[in-house]
Amino acid sequence: MIASALDSAQRRAVDAPFDTGLAIGGGPATGKTTALLARVERARALGYATPLVAGVDEPFSARLHDLAQEVLREWGIALRIVDDVEAEMLFEEAAVPLLAMESDLIELQIDPEVPGLRSPERFLESAFRLARKLTEALIGPDEFLERSLSGATEFYANPPNFAQPGLVTATKSEHRASLAVSAQELQRQYRREIDLAKLLAQLFRAYSRLLFERGCAAGRDAVAQAVERLAGDPRAAQRVKDRYGIVFLDDAQEMTAGQASLLRALFGERMRGVTVVGDAGEAATRVELVQSFRPRPRIEVRRPATQLDEARAIATHVAALLQTAETSRVAVVLRSVASPAIYEEALLDRGIHVRIGGDYNVFADRRAHDALALLWNICDPYRHDWLLRTLEGHAMALSDASLAVLCGEPSDKQTVLFEEETAAQATGGHRRDPDRDVRLGRNVLCGDCDAKLSAVARERVQRFRAMRERWIAAQDDCDFETFVRRVWQEGLAREGAPGSARAAAQQRTLYALLGHMEAYRTAHPHAGLGEVLADTERRGESELESCEPAEGDGVLLINVACARGLRFDHVAIANVRPGAFPRWYAPDAFLFSPILGMIPKDNVGDATTARTAKFTYYLHRVKAAERYYRRERKLFEYALSRAERSLLVTASSKATRGISAPEFLEELR
């Protein structure tokens, strides 16, 4: 029984009535999750058969998104929940007519020279991040535009004193010129800001329409729709509430305004029957846990000269730990595992099995690229980037000389006797090569250059050609999963000996990749191989992709967010240097304030400075960088609290003075 070893504060949390809202707070390692689980245990003993429990075995946000789907089904609305990567793709699709300057922009009378549009890709990334935040705060396009217009009017009608000493001193020298603005310049910036707000509002509306037409939504969009529906139908709220009776949410520190509103819509303003670990908003009762139940780990700090030296030092340290510790009790934690290759390779070199989780993009992994290349070779052999990857990969290993031959013309090519004059003139006297885009693929498929290859290279190319023909024939003879497995089994080079850490890492990557492709085909039953591959290619370029660690044995290589709620005997926190942990503070192309409205970063048009005056003023007013680095420090402290016995903190290169960003590692010395 969990309840047998609780302190007095935990006991108060467990024994609190279930008909009231309860928030369990406290620092890391104070037993919040233990108290929550004991409270769940007590609820089931009292007859609450199906309480809603989230955040223990799965992220609480995912469970609340499922709850929003249940609510919407009360009105017969069935939505397919998409992840952030697919949502971003839909957002970009909705933006195509607007960015093409079609009729919508003309009707809005928007000057196309608005902040951010000089870089459309960056503009869309910033706009999508803003759309996510607005939806999480339950701010729709109309309210966004209204607040933007009123905020702009208020700010520019009564501008602050841009010459105040505190503002000038706190602003970097390269941005101080943005504060020297005339009334005419402020009026020009005001007009640009209004145009930006109108464009973004129109884009958000187009995105919402597209989601409705496709019958899908991101989790936050489903929550917003559910809150709107519940506001007008209390009986539906009661029906959903009666299915569970009470709710338990762990690790709810990042609960959004929309998620909190969903709980209030179901359980009342005081959230009766809801127990959360974290901030519960209007919870009637709050119990703060202060006693730490975890022994203070032994801390070691290292700063090797290079990142490669750092990765090898961590691998050596982990190998020594595994002499006595179980792999499941050891973890390597980074701020981000978007690019974990150097640390994974160092661990694999020592024969250590690794499982990666967090903001890791499996579609950008080199092993995934090798596997996807074979499928692209079947689908489109004239995608020469993928074909070259196969030809120079470990399975075929063609030399540069052989690749040059395959990229050249066959020796018996017929000479062109006449050249179109217009083509020669269009290229400055040099006729464009009409076969450039197909030559490599044609030579590999047809064998026009086989005679010019060495015997070894010719045998490999002919073997690949024969395999590809068999794969094409097999497409219609078996299901998708069997087909993909066959291609990879015959065409991929195995990494490492059977049973080795490298072999296991390759298998985990392939299983994850195949699982994603199968999930896409389930959501899009009529999708062909080309559509599946196009989806993987788009996902490989996204910064929003993430994954859970694979099942099985292995040291976890995870980011801080993925470590929430986990505890280990031994932890190594890597790459603790400014720019990596903490990340640099880099504000978006435009920000939004409910009071001040839109705050564009870039100055455009006839501007004489790179930044707008409002942006410089706002960063100083809200102390944006300081707030950002406080959040980064909390993440670092949370990472430190994951270790129970030993803790290694590492960074590479020389320490900075900690002016632009704090030096967390040096603060531990």
pLDDT in tens, 469-514: 999 999 988 999 999 999 999 999 999 999 999 999 999 999 999 9
Model confidence at 415: pLDDT above 50: no
Pairing state of beta strands 80-82 and 216-218?
A: parallel
Which residue is listed with tokens 């009729």? 103
Model confidence at 308: pLDDT above 70: yes
Model confidence at 431: pLDDT above 70: no
Model confidence at 419: pLDDT above 90: no
User: Domain 2-79+218-289 is in which class?
Assistant: alpha beta
Long-range contacts, stretch 426-432, CB < 8 angstroms, 24+ apart:
none
Please give the Cα distance from 470 to 378 (Å, whole number). 10
DSSP-derived 3-state class of residue 64:
helix
Mean pLDDT (the chain) is: 88
Per-residue pLDDT band for 434 (boundaries 50, 70, 90) equals low
The yes/no answer on whether domain 365-540 falls in CATH 1.10.486.10 is yes
The conformation of residue 314, written as its DSSP 8-state character, comes to H
Q: Which CATH superfamily is domain 298-362+550-586+626-667 in?
A: P-loop containing nucleotide triphosphate hydrolases (3.40.50.300)
Supply the pLDDT for residue 105: 47
Task: For the chain, give percent helix, strand, coil, nearest 5.
Answer: 55, 10, 35
Q: How many C-beta atoms surround the C-beta of residue 236 within 10 A?
A: 19
pLDDT in tens, 312-355: 999 999 999 999 999 999 999 999 999 999 999 999 999 999 99
Per-residue pLDDT band for 51 (boundaries 50, 70, 90) equals confident
Mean pLDDT for 543-549 is: 91
Mean pLDDT for 449-474 is: 94
Supply the pLDDT for residue 101: 58
Higher per-residue pLDDT: 19 or 124: 124
Please give the Cα distance from 472 to 265 (Å, whole number). 54
Per-residue pLDDT band for 115 (boundaries 50, 70, 90) equals low
Model confidence at 427: pLDDT above 60: no
Model confidence at 248: pLDDT above 60: yes
Per-residue pLDDT band for 27 (boundaries 50, 70, 90) equals confident
Per-residue pLDDT band for 246 (boundaries 50, 70, 90) equals confident
Token pair of 66, please?
């499922």
Q: Considering the chain, what percentage of its residues have pLDDT values greater than 90?
A: 60
Supply the pLDDT for residue 7: 80
Mean pLDDT for 42-50 is: 83
Q: Name the least confident of 77-86, 393-402, 419-428, 489-498.
A: 419-428
Token pair of 534, please?
């196009």
pLDDT in tens, 80-114: 999 999 999 999 999 888 776 544 544 545 555 55
Model confidence at 423: pLDDT above 70: no
pLDDT in tens, 134-145: 999 999 999 999
Model confidence at 432: pLDDT above 70: no
Per-residue pLDDT band for 116 (boundaries 50, 70, 90) equals low
Length of the chain in terms of residues written: 669
Q: Name the least confident of 31-40, 417-426, 571-580.
A: 417-426
Mean pLDDT for 11-23 is: 86
Mean pLDDT for 566-586 is: 95
Helix orientation angle between 624-640 and 613-622, rounded to the nearest 10 degrees: 50
Higher per-residue pLDDT: 255 or 135: 135
Per-residue pLDDT band for 521 (boundaries 50, 70, 90) equals very high
Supply the pLDDT for residue 416: 45
Model confidence at 57: pLDDT above 70: no
Supply the pLDDT for residue 349: 96
Please give the Cα distance from 573 to 201 (Å, whole number). 42
Q: Considering the chain, what percentage of its residues have pLDDT values greater than 70?
A: 91
Please give the Cα distance from 627 to 647 (Å, whole number). 27
pLDDT in tens, 208-225: 999 999 999 999 999 999
Model confidence at 665: pLDDT above 80: yes
Helix (H) or strand (E) holding 80: strand 80-82
Residue type, 610: A
Residues of the chain with CATH 3.40.50.300: 2-79+218-289, 298-362+550-586+626-667
Supply the pLDDT for residue 103: 46
Higher per-residue pLDDT: 486 or 292: 486
Residues of the chain with CATH 1.10.486.10: 365-540
Mean pLDDT for 447-456 is: 92
Model confidence at 451: pLDDT above 50: yes
Supply the pLDDT for residue 345: 97
DSSP-derived 3-state class of residue 347:
helix
